[in-house]
Structure 1
Amino acid sequence: MSGDDTRTVRAGKRTVRVHRPGKVLFPGAGDAKEYTKGDLVDYYRAVAPFMVPHLRGRPLMLERHPDGVDGPRFMQKNTPDSYPDWIARVEVPKEGGTVCHPVCEDTGTLLYLADQAALTLHRWLSRTGRLERPDRMVFDLDPAGDDFEAVRSAARLLGELLDELALPSWLMTTGSRGLHVVVPLTGSDDSDAVREFSRAVADTLARAHPAALTTAARKKERGQRLYLDVGRNAYAQTAVAPFSVRALPGAPVATPITWSQLDDPAVHARRWSVADAVEQARTRPWAGLSRGGRALGPARRRLDKLRG
C-alpha cells in the first residue's frame, strides 16, 4: 500500500477519508509489530462501539503524532476551523478567553481524529453542560519503575479501602506502566470536592503503607514508592480515555479490565495492543459502570470515621 494514497471508510452516516493509510506510525522494532495509520483507523473503527460511549459529551485533548511515535508530539485542545462541521465542539472558558474542545459523539468523529494522527484521546471527567461536576473520579497508580507487581498490590489495597467506603471501583491498564482505578460518581459534587476527597483517600492509604505508597508530587521525594496520583480530578484536567492507543512501541492500549483479571499474572500495563484490545472490549469488563454512580457525602463520613 502506497503512503501517498487515500481510502474512504464508512462510519454510520459519515464517510471519512483516510490520508496516507500506509504511513507507518509505529515502527517495528524487536518484538514490537509495525502499525500504519490504516491499522490505527481499523482498530478505532472496530473498538468504537465500546469506546465512544466513554467519550460522548466530554471535552477532549488530542495527543497527535503526525510523523509517528518517533516524531514530535502535539497536545491539541482547540478544534481547528478545518475540522468538518459535523464534529461536535464545546466552548470552555479559560483565562483570557475560551477553548473550543472537540467532542467525540460518534464513530465518524473517532475515525476522523485517527486520520489526524490523534493516537491517544484524553477525556475530561465531566460532561458538557456540567463541566464543574465530574461523574468520574480517577486514581492513577504510577510506579517508580516498570514494576507491575507494585501496581497490582496498590490496586488491591485501594480497592479494599474503596469497598469500606461503599464506593464501587473499576480498573483500567494505562497502556504505559500503571493502572487507573475509576470510581463512577453522580455528578453532585464539584471538582474541588472530588479532588479534595480523592486526596484524602490517597493520603489515608499512603499513611497506612508508608514504605510502599506515597502522595509526594516531587519525584525526588518518592524514592521507589508507588505514587498515588489524584491530580486528574482537578477542574479541566484529563485522563486517558478507555481503549485509547498509547504512543509507545507496539501500539499498547489503555484497556478496561475486571478485578478478577488483576490476579492473572499475564496482565500488566501494556498487556493489550491494537492487535487484541477489541477482544477484551467484547467481554464488556466495565458492564454496569455507568449505572453505579455515587455521591461522596456518605463515603466522606465513612472516611472520617476510619481516620478517627
Structure 2
Amino acid sequence: MARFGRYTVELSNTDKVFFPDAGISKGDLIDYYSAVAEWLVPHAKDRPLTLHRFPDGIDQDGFYQQQRSDYFPDWIQSRKTARVEDSHEDEKAVDHVLCNNQATLVYLANQGVITLHGWLSRAPRLTRPDRLIFDLDPAHKDFGTVRRAARQVAALMQQLNLTPYAMTTGSRGLHVVAPLRRGQQFDAVRDLAQAMAQHLAQQHSDDLTVEQRKDKRQGRIYLDVMRNAYGQTAVLPYAVRAKPGAPVATPLDLDELDDSGLDPQGWHIKNILRRLGQKGDPWADIRRHAVSIEGVRKALDKMRD
C-alpha cells in the first residue's frame, strides 16, 4: 500500500520484470512515475488519455485503452468525450481517464500502464485545442535530418509569433509544439498546421515534404500534422515508452536541437530524474506563451503572398 494525500493505492507484483533487457521491474516503473509526477501531471492535467498497457511487460502483448475500466477507484477522475467533434449523444461517449494527481499516475502504473497519450485539448473545452503539433520521424537512420527539420519548424513558428517547444518522443523522432489560446476549434488549427507545413515544404523542398506516401518522399522528412484533430493524441512529456531501456519522452531546450549527440531514446527512467534535478522542466512555462491563431494565420498569409 502507498498513500498519496487523501488517496491510497494498493500495489501488486512489483517484482515483475517489465523491461527484461534493462532489468527494470514494475516496481521501478511505479517509483519513476511517483517521482516524476510533479513534472508530468501539469502537462497531463484535464487531458483525456489513451493508456498503453503491458500487464506482463514489454516482451508480451500490450493493448491501448480509451474507456475507463469499471474497477478503477471512484477518486480517479474521468471525462466523457463524444466520438466525433460535433456529436453530444451519450451512447457515443467514451469515458476517458484524466490524470490530475500523483496517486492516479501511480495507480495507472500499477495497472501496467507504461505510456500515457493525451489529447491536444483539455476538459471542459475539448473541441478547443491548446496545442499545435508537428510530428517528425526520420526517413532513415540519420537523426540529424530530424533535428534540422525541427529547427526549421521552430524557426517558422517564431516568425509567426508562436513559441516553439521541442521534445524527443522516446521512440524515433521529435515533436515540435506551440501553445495556443483555446479560441478556435480543431478544424481551424489543423488547417493552419497544414498551411504551415506546405509553406515549409516549399521553402525547404530538398529536406521536407507533405507527401503522405512513403515511396514519394525521396528521403525527405515528412511534416506530419495529422495529430491536430479532435480525439487525436500525442505522447505526454515524461511518459515512458514500451521499448528496450525504458526511454522517456523528454522536453528539450531549443538549443539542444543543435547537439549532434542528441538521441531520441537517450533519456530513460534511470537518468531523466537527474536531468530534471539539474535543468528543471524546459516546458514548465508553456501555457504562459499561448497565443490566438488568428494573428498567426494572417502573418502566414502575408508571408506566402
Where does residue 242 of structure 1 map in the other structure?
237
Other structure's SS at 2:97 match: strand
Superposition map of 1:42-57 within 5 A: 42-57=31-46
Shift of residue 143, structure 1, vs aligned partner: 1.2
CA distances 1:232-272 after superposition (whole Å, capped 9, x unpaired): 11011000000000011000000111012222233221110
Shift of residue 149, structure 1, vs aligned partner: 0.2
One of 291, 298, 303 as aligned partner of 2:295: 298
Where does residue 88 of structure 2 map in the other structure?
none
Deviating more after overlay: 157-166 vs 12-21: 12-21
Instruction: Provide the rounded CA distance (Å) in 1 between the counterparts of 2:3 and 2:252.
Output: 29
Shift of residue 213, structure 1, vs aligned partner: 1.1
Unpaired runs of at least 5, structure 2: 85-90
Where does residue 41 of structure 1 map in the other structure?
30
Superposition map of 1:55-204 within 5 A: 55-94=44-83, 97-204=92-199
Shift of residue 298, structure 1, vs aligned partner: 0.8
Where does residue 4 of structure 1 map in the other structure?
none
Deviating more after overlay: 280-289 vs 70-79: 280-289
Instruction: Provide the rounded CA distance (Å) in 1 between the counterparts of 2:169 and 2:155.
Output: 21
The TM-score with structure 2 as length reference comes to 0.94
After TM superposition, which residue ranges in structure 1, 4 or more long, deviate above 3 angstroms?
none
Contact 1:256–1:281 (8 Å) recurs in 2: no
Unpaired runs of at least 5, structure 1: 1-7
Deviating more after overlay: 266-275 vs 211-220: 211-220
Instruction: Provide the rounded CA distance (Å) in 2 between the counterparts of 1:217 and 1:23.
Output: 41
Q: Percent identity?
A: 47
Instruction: Provide the rounded CA distance (Å) in 2 between the counterparts of 1:116 and 1:304.
Output: 48
2:11 aligned with 1:18: yes
Two-structure CA RMSD over aligned residues (Å) = 1.2
Paired letter, 1:90: R
CA distances 1:82-101 after superposition (whole Å, capped 9, x unpaired): 00000001111126521000
CA distances 1:29-73 after superposition (whole Å, capped 9, x unpaired): xxxx22110010011011000000111111000011112112112
The TM-score with structure 1 as length reference comes to 0.93
Instruction: Provide the rounded CA distance (Å) in 1 between the counterparts of 2:292 and 2:213.
Output: 31
Where does residue 87 of structure 2 map in the other structure?
none
One of 262, 280, 284 as aligned partner of 2:281: 284
Question: How many residue pairs align between the two structures?
Answer: 297
Instruction: Provide the rounded CA distance (Å) in 1 between the counterparts of 2:32 and 2:115.
Output: 13
Where does residue 275 of structure 1 map in the other structure?
270
One of 252, 258, 263 as aligned partner of 1:257: 252
CA 1:9–1:223 in 2, change beyond 3 Å: closer, same or farther?
Answer: farther
